[in-house]
Structure 1
Amino acid sequence: MTSSVLSANYNTILFEFGVTLVSSKILYALLRKLYQPRVFSDLLLGILLAQFRILSVTNAINLVFAKLGPFVFAPYLFALGVEMDPFALLLDAAAADAVVAYAGILSTAALVAALHSAVVLPVTGIVHERSLRAFLGLAAVLANTASPVLTRLATDLKIAKTNVGRLAVGAGVTSDMVTTLLIALGSMVWRDGDADAVTSSADLAQPLLTGAALLAVAMSGFASRAMAEWVDGRNPEGRRMRGFDLSLVALAAAAMCWVVSALQLDFNMAAFMVGLAFPSEGRVSRLLVSKANFVLSSFVLPLYVAHVCLSLRQTTDDIEAAGVDPDSQVFRVYVMQLPFPWWKVFFATAMGTLGKVAGCAGVGLIKGLGWLEALALGMLLNVKGYFHIYCALAAFEAGIITDKSFMALIFMVALNVAVTPVVGMGIASWARRSVQWRLMGLQHHDPATELRLVVGLHGAQDVPTLAFLVDSLRSCGGGGLACYAVDMVQLTDQTAAAIVKGGGFDGVTVVDEEVSEMRKLIGEALDAYVSGDIKVRRLLALSSFQDMHGDMCICAEDAMAALILLPFHKTQCLDGTMDAAGLHYGFRLVNQKVLQLAPCSVGIMVDRGLGRLQNQQQNQTPVNVVVVFIGGADDREALTLAAFVCKHPGIRLTALRIVQSAAAQARARARTSLFESKSRRNILHLQAAAPNGGAAASNEELQAQADDKFFAEFYRKHVAGNKGAVGYLEKHVADGAELVSVLRGMQGDYRLFVVGKGRDRNSVLTEGLDEWAECLELGPVGDILASSDFSATASVLIVQQYDAKKHYKVIDDEFMPL
């Protein structure tokens, strides 16, 4: 009988835990579109559970966490400590982000000290206990920055690469480390919960215990470093980490936490101290952080936040004033509907925000930021998170704050986290508006200035061919060449759990094992294939497939790039066919959005082993490249790229011009006449119809004139004036079928086809080709060249020119430069 009851209880607990976790994930998926972090969805769900007391969830969660509560937050604090480097407090003390962090901490502490009388008032006060530990603890908690929440927000809002974003992420980590360390040290001083213990002379053993705890932490640091080195030696890079070794490290870390906590130190604070002593670099550390954060964010923390919110209570006086019996069912159902402490919420929010903004914004102004950017910096560093929820519960259980203040702090965290993404979006909009839009593309590039390229990489397999293209452009002019290699990493729950502060141009990075291995292979491939005289800067695009185009466009804007090069979403199989099975199909969505929204020209590279073959031949055999010119702005951009490439000694270029035959010209004239006649029939006033038809006709004529002029200049410079170094072919075709036939006849002679996408091309030669197209984003000609049945050896580069009409208000296309 007893076993059946326990079994029923276990089934109920598992069911209610499952409902809570699923509800949290659904709520997070909905709120994520508003850039709300996971902690806000967990808080919102917990508040709803506390308000309505759905089913018996309160009994299940509180029953479990009443036993595990003192230990459940320890893994979070341990992982947080592992991410941090305590030596940075000494080595980087004068860095800009450290100065900003210290200024925010000091200003918040000064404000709490100045308002100490209001802090203990019954209406607005936060603390119930008049003691030194209460005021210092409140100051440290309000000055703390939730660095994991901030790094994730910086990634989602695309501000990690801005000046404010990088400064905020760096200062957030420093602020989080310093304030959490102060709270941990405070827990050593007031280890028995007595506020006056520090002044008691009777407890002579307390200094000895504190010293012993610090010594144990130091010893755990030496032991953990030795164990990490031993495990790294057993699991070299490139080989999957053994689960037994990682479990052994986790058990050893737990044992160290237990030893430190045995010296009368809070177990959670002991976990943070041990994690801080743990080496922050290395494969073991990366795996521990990523695995622990993934499990915590997916399972533990939503349940923990629900437990905290279900612990919300009002004071007995408020219950009696409301006329509700504390033992009644009504109290258990409507406990959240009693008088709410709005003044406490407002006071805590205002005190924390003003303290952070005053110090951080002041230093930001001194460091050269504008006043809007400095204000945004302070607001970002004021973001709260899971640690603040833990501190509120710990203070409530210790009697430092009342239940009203407990509720006020929980709602303060929710309000703060909900508002912070708005600040981040404001920063992103300011950064975008500050960019002076101009014609960014190869055709408008000044050869005397540096040519900048943004190259997207899905993995190491994309490096050889894209590196060949970058190397072929290094002779483009006297300004040199700079390449921004962007590792395109999909943001999943697992990679999101491994986001930490980054270095250099990237504000954040990922310590996930698979991502780190991929980035390492990309770096090795870049070192092997890219010439030493090309400046290469490594970047990271960490986003979901729906948002990754934003990272690429922002990189191009920040770098003022003229061209974005992206790999095709399909890879070549062993039988020569093109298949997307090797890669996630979401990269096609990324390419489509980049083509639509890019601030410069874009090139899509369909790789059929070009770079690998050249590396095997050690560049002894010139590469035969053909550029196909039909007409239009995209073809002119492709011809410009070919003009840069032809200067490379290892490339033999041929320019193929497709010209309409007599039959095609007759069809074109008939189509123009038909268009003009339809326009006259559809418009009532004949006088107004004539200019419209003339404008359409004149636009085609202007495009044709621009094509003829541009190709004639190319021919003069590179064909006639270069002693035949660039070949020239001219083919007269009548329709799309003949065009395809001509291209198929050349596929065995050339290793690379360069074609324009043909967005604005209005030619009878490509009519009907897009009806059977599989990838419309490549254009009619590019889709044919990229298909599996075209060639097994010829790679293709599809070029799209930057469309200035996206960023300039244009009355008519005639006013746009050709």
Structure 2
Amino acid sequence: MDCSMTSSVLSANYNTILFEFGVTLVTSKILYALLRNVYQPRVFSDLLLGIILAQFRVLSITNAINLVFGKIGGFIFAPYLFALGVEMDPFALLDGLTGDAVVAYAGILSTCILVTIFHTPVMQDKGGIVHELSLRAFLGLAVTLSNTASPVLTRLATDLKIAKTNVGRLAVGAGITSDLVTTLLIALGSMIWRDSDADGTGAGVFRQPVLTAAVLMVVLMSGFVFRAMAEWVDGRNPEGRRMRGFDLSLVALVAGTLCWFSSVLRLDVNMAAFLVGLAFPSEGRVSRLLVSKINFVLSSFVLPLYVAHVCLSLRQTTDDIEVSGLTRHEGLRVYVMQLPFPWWKVFFVTAMGTMGKLVGCAGVGLLQGLGCLEALALGMLLNVKGYFHIYCALAAFEAGIITDKSFMAIIFMVALNVAVTPMVGMGISSWARRSVQWRLMGLQHHNPATELRLVGGLHGPQNVPTLTFLMETLRQGAGNGELACYAVDMVQLTDQTAASIVKGGGFDGVTVVDEEVSEMRKLIGEALDVYQAADRGGDSDKVKVRRLMALSSFPDMHSDICICAEDAMAALILLPFHKTQSLDGTMDTGHFGFRLVNQKVLQLAPCSVGIMVDRGFGKQRPPSMTMSDAPQSTVVVVFIGGADDREALTLASFMCKHPGVRLTALRIVQNSTAQARAKARTSLFESKSRRNIQQPAAVLGQEELQAQADDKFFAEFYRKHVAGNKAMGYLEKHVADGAELVSVLRAMQGEYRLFVVGRGRDRNSVLTEGLEEWAECLELGPVGDILASSDFSTTASVLIVQQYDAKKHYKVIDEEFMPL
């Protein structure tokens, strides 16, 4: 009977704990989803939830979380530090002094100097920030304030779209270096300042060097063990196959064993995990997948509960201590938030860390050519705090290094710092956009004596052949065949990919180590490498391909692509159509997310845009096949009228210069019936104009200007590329309405592999009237939608072109007032 009652009570307690854990985790996710709209990182939502729980004294949740984390909290942070160590490359410290490293070292040095200057108010037995008057306490505070939370910084740079700006690239690189150096210093400090005479016999003085040497030997041994294991696991799991769970679990088990063995040698298990992680190879499939899994579990389950445990220890009054049956002295080690609130410590710690980073990092930034505002923003970004600072504060408090009020002040300093940093990032983002001088970026305005720059979006490796074909044909229209393409891998930002974001290099700033994303990017990179390595008769060095990644949610991905086009001063953005061809030749329903990206890019792009509808075009032309080896491609450009059709004709003029392209220019003109309808519409507009209806008159005038521009432009195109050129075809079709136009296009579907058409935004031709009513994808325009529909063709691909509209960006009505 007694055993049954005891079992029921324990079962009820476990159920209560699981329920309260679930409530805390769900609340944390909801809070993060709300705060993410203002670009707040996850650590801030976790801190805010913990402070709210502590403020309102939810006793049951307090007891549940403290009951569990009070027993396992000593090593719960070890997986986080292990993953952090795996992401970092310690050999990077042996490289030369790069700009990133100089900024990082300057920030660390200036912060340490500032803490030294103010050591008197900081180091006090009573009333100071540091309770223990020792060298380890002084250096620990200085190094902790110098630390930059690089995982938080890289995520902010990704969310705020500043990873490609000068300040963003410099901040991400310097943040990684700063995080590596300061965390390594703290780990080494924990080895040096451990208890040397715990038993009072004096033997610890002689034992400490031996234990330190043993720990270093374990770390060095870990490097050899992990490298051998990584090669063994990679051999058992070749690329293209899903990694076996047993192999990954075995690697994690060995890593945990080495961390435990280091802790047996009296090194803090969390710091041991970081050192073992540093010994783990930072590159490779095993490392990417292991870090991805650890970060996903930590961010989804462990870290929110850990932060709640830390914050729930803050708000306990003297009455709570007495009720718990503890004396005031005993309660100080558990209950730390006692009134009055130490505001001066919060602001003093915040000011020391911020000023230290601003003085050092901003000063070096100015020397490297940044502006004053950019340099200040660099210092503020590198001052961002995170989970590691929360861990350091708790560890220092439990070791008696800092006082209860100082512990509370550091926690609130981290929350305040993390809340402010996204605002700095948003300021950088707005400065970057204001600094861009809008130009007439498009193929029609491209200087043929200069390099042609393109931005190509990629959903996967299946889009590479079509992109390389367009690159190869369009480069003939550039100066000396020089072309630069910024290939953008379009990756959706989900919880799983967010947890797998680690340090990166170059233009990206971050890297996603999720296995599926990594495999996709690897295949894309291999296909592009094959294209670049193809023999072009000595012109291979004139084609430059730069890899980028648009890592965003679909509603925000267009921003990455547009910023890339602005930075690269590209003339054209090429994006795949959101639908793909099925096995039966029809087009599938498509991906709504990619359609949303295309729609927003068409609306906001700073240059011309092309949407490519691929119907097996890429399958017949692998990237390794040069244009001289491939059969001649038949291309037709359809010209009806309008700015978009003029841009499509310009694109065709670039392509016709390539010997591997057989181009035909198709001009659609009105027959007598269409001309009569157009004349009747003109008369109607004129009659309305005489009745003081100004809008029809304005439309009529715009149509006349467009018609004159169309005739002049096509006549110039005919003179330069058609007349006297036997390789260039020309057709002229007279049609009466949209139905005849569709019939003409259908009759040509079997003759051409690629149709190039304009989107037709400003076209008011009677030949396309009524076609919009049946359109499924209005963003392609009336003609483009017909050509992209499943019932048009199964073999003819389509390229829909939109010309850059400078007047829209300058917000002017008449070209006379254009600033360019």
TM-score past 0.5 threshold = yes
CA shift at 1:619, angstroms?
4.1
Instruction: State which of 632, 635, 644 in structure 2 corresponds to 1:622.
Output: 632
CA contact (8 A) 2:454 2:484 kept: yes
Instruction: State which of 100, 105, 109 in structure 1 corresponds to 2:103.
Output: 100
Describe the SS at the equivalent of 1:578: coil
Matched, 1:705 2:708: yes
Letter in 2 for 1:353: T
CA shift at 1:338, angstroms?
3.2
Alignment CA distance shift 1:128-1:469 (3 Å)? same
Describe the SS at the equivalent of 1:807: helix
Describe the SS at the equivalent of 2:554: coil
Match of 2:267 in 1: 265
Describe the SS at the equivalent of 1:487: strand
Match of 1:545 in 2: 554
Letter in 2 for 1:297: S
Match of 2:222 in 1: 220
Alignment CA distance shift 1:409-1:195 (3 Å)? farther
Match of 1:240 in 2: 242
CA shift at 1:55, angstroms?
6.1
Describe the SS at the equivalent of 1:613: coil
Q: How does 1:339-418 map to 2 (within 5 A)?
A: 339-418=340-419
Alignment CA distance shift 1:668-1:196 (3 Å)? farther
**Which range moves more in the overlay, 413-422 or 392-401?**
392-401
Match of 1:576 in 2: 585
Match of 2:596 in 1: 589
Q: How does 1:53-64 map to 2 (within 5 A)?
A: 53-54=57-58, 56-64=60-68
For each residue in 1:216-243, what CA deviation from the matched residue of structure 2 results, as whole angstroms up to 9, or x when unmatched? Answer: 1111121111111111121122221111
For each residue in 1:307-350, what CA deviation from the matched residue of structure 2 results, as whole angstroms up to 9, or x when unmatched? Answer: 11101146xxxx56xx8874289x99x99683211111100100
Q: How does 1:746-757 map to 2 (within 5 A)?
A: 746-757=748-759
Task: Supply the distance in 1 between the matched residues of 2:689 and 2:130 (Cα, whole angstroms).
Answer: 78
Instruction: State which of 106, 114, 118 in structure 1 corresponds to 2:117.
Output: 114
Instruction: State which of 639, 644, 666 in structure 1 corresponds to 2:676.
Output: 666
Q: How does 1:554-703 map to 2 (within 5 A)?
A: 554-580=563-589, 584-615=591-622, 619-678=629-688, 681=691, 686=692, 689=693, 693-703=696-706
Alignment CA distance shift 1:164-1:335 (3 Å)? closer
Task: Supply the distance in 2 between the matched residues of 1:285 and 1:550 (Cα, whole angstroms).
Answer: 30
CA contact (8 A) 1:465 1:609 kept: no
Task: Supply the distance in 2 between the matched residues of 1:666 and 1:192 (Cα, whole angstroms).
Answer: 99
TM-score by structure 1 length?
0.94
Describe the SS at the equivalent of 2:252: helix
Match of 1:463 in 2: 464
RMSD: 2.4
Task: Supply the distance in 1 between the matched residues of 2:506 and 2:181 (Cα, whole angstroms).
Answer: 22
CA contact (8 A) 2:85 2:277 kept: yes
CA contact (8 A) 1:104 1:360 kept: yes
CA contact (8 A) 2:608 2:804 kept: yes
Task: Supply the distance in 2 between the matched residues of 1:752 and 1:10 (Cα, whole angstroms).
Answer: 65
CA shift at 1:779, angstroms?
0.6
Letter in 1 for 2:493: L
Instruction: State which of 271, 285, 288 in structure 2 corresponds to 1:286.
Output: 288
Alignment CA distance shift 1:672-1:631 (3 Å)? same
CA shift at 1:190, angstroms?
2.1
**Which range moves more in the overlay, 605-614 or 185-194?**
185-194
Instruction: State which of 53, 77, 82 in structure 1 corresponds to 2:81.
Output: 77
Match of 2:780 in 1: 778
Match of 1:327 in 2: 323
Letter in 1 for 2:422: P
Task: Supply the distance in 1 between the matched residues of 2:631 and 2:792 (Cα, whole angstroms).
Answer: 24
Alignment CA distance shift 1:212-1:620 (3 Å)? closer
Match of 2:537 in 1: none
Matched, 1:158 2:161: yes
Task: Supply the distance in 1 between the matched residues of 2:66 and 2:631 (Cα, whole angstroms).
Answer: 73
Letter in 1 for 2:730: Y
Instruction: State which of 524, 541, 545 in structure 1 corresponds to 2:526.
Output: 524
CA contact (8 A) 1:718 1:725 kept: no
Describe the SS at the equivalent of 2:618: helix
Instruction: State which of 516, 529, 534 in structure 1 corresponds to 2:543.
Output: 534
Describe the SS at the equivalent of 1:442: coil
Match of 1:183 in 2: 186
Matched, 1:301 2:308: no
TM-score by structure 2 length?
0.94
CA shift at 1:166, angstroms?
1.2
CA contact (8 A) 1:21 1:302 kept: yes
Alignment CA distance shift 1:765-1:125 (3 Å)? farther
Matched, 1:451 2:448: no
CA shift at 1:725, angstroms?
2.1
Letter in 2 for 1:562: A
Describe the SS at the equivalent of 2:555: coil
CA shift at 1:673, angstroms?
3.0
Matched, 1:141 2:144: yes
Task: Supply the distance in 1 between the matched residues of 2:461 and 2:79 (Cα, whole angstroms).
Answer: 34
Match of 2:498 in 1: 496
Task: Supply the distance in 2 between the matched residues of 1:490 and 1:417 (Cα, whole angstroms).
Answer: 25
CA shift at 1:294, angstroms?
0.8
CA shift at 1:696, angstroms?
2.9
Alignment CA distance shift 1:269-1:447 (3 Å)? same
Matched, 1:37 2:41: yes
Q: Percent identity?
A: 81
Task: Supply the distance in 1 between the matched residues of 2:606 and 2:440 (Cα, whole angstroms).
Answer: 9
For each residue in 1:551-595, what CA deviation from the matched residue of structure 2 results, as whole angstroms up to 9, or x when unmatched? Answer: 1111111111000000001110110011145xx431111111111
Task: Supply the distance in 1 between the matched residues of 2:774 and 2:129 (Cα, whole angstroms).
Answer: 69
Match of 1:433 in 2: 434
CA contact (8 A) 2:198 2:204 kept: no
Letter in 2 for 1:248: L
CA shift at 1:251, angstroms?
0.1
Describe the SS at the equivalent of 2:750: coil
For each residue in 1:4-60, what CA deviation from the matched residue of structure 2 results, as whole angstroms up to 9, or x when unmatched? Answer: 111111111111111111111111111111011110111111111111133611111
Alignment size in residue pairs:
798
Letter in 2 for 1:604: I
CA contact (8 A) 2:337 2:405 kept: no
Letter in 1 for 2:659: P
CA contact (8 A) 1:123 1:344 kept: no
Q: Specify every segment of 5 or more residues in structure 2 that has no aligned partner in the other structure, as ranges.
A: 535-539
**Which range moves more in the overlay, 425-434 or 551-560?**
425-434
Alignment CA distance shift 1:716-1:202 (3 Å)? closer
CA shift at 1:805, angstroms?
1.8
Match of 1:173 in 2: 176
Task: Supply the distance in 2 between the matched residues of 1:488 and 1:754 (Cα, whole angstroms).
Answer: 24
Letter in 1 for 2:597: V
Task: Supply the distance in 2 between the matched residues of 1:651 and 1:51 (Cα, whole angstroms).
Answer: 72
Task: Supply the distance in 1 between the matched residues of 2:290 and 2:396 (Cα, whole angstroms).
Answer: 29
Describe the SS at the equivalent of 1:611: coil
CA contact (8 A) 1:123 1:343 kept: no
CA shift at 1:679, angstroms?
5.3
**Which range moves more in the overlay, 587-596 or 116-125?**
116-125
Match of 1:472 in 2: 473
Task: Supply the distance in 1 between the matched residues of 2:558 and 2:472 (Cα, whole angstroms).
Answer: 25
CA contact (8 A) 2:149 2:384 kept: yes
CA contact (8 A) 1:499 1:508 kept: yes
Describe the SS at the equivalent of 1:474: helix
Instruction: State which of 80, 87, 90 in structure 1 corresponds to 2:91.
Output: 87
For each residue in 1:681-740, what CA deviation from the matched residue of structure 2 results, as whole angstroms up to 9, or x when unmatched? Answer: 5xxxx4xx56x5543322110010000100111111111142x32111111111111111
Describe the SS at the equivalent of 2:507: coil
CA shift at 1:515, angstroms?
1.2
**Which range moves more in the overlay, 256-265 or 495-504?**
495-504
Alignment CA distance shift 1:467-1:411 (3 Å)? same
CA contact (8 A) 2:315 2:338 kept: no
Task: Supply the distance in 1 between the matched residues of 2:571 and 2:193 (Cα, whole angstroms).
Answer: 61
Task: Supply the distance in 2 between the matched residues of 1:268 and 1:84 (Cα, whole angstroms).
Answer: 16
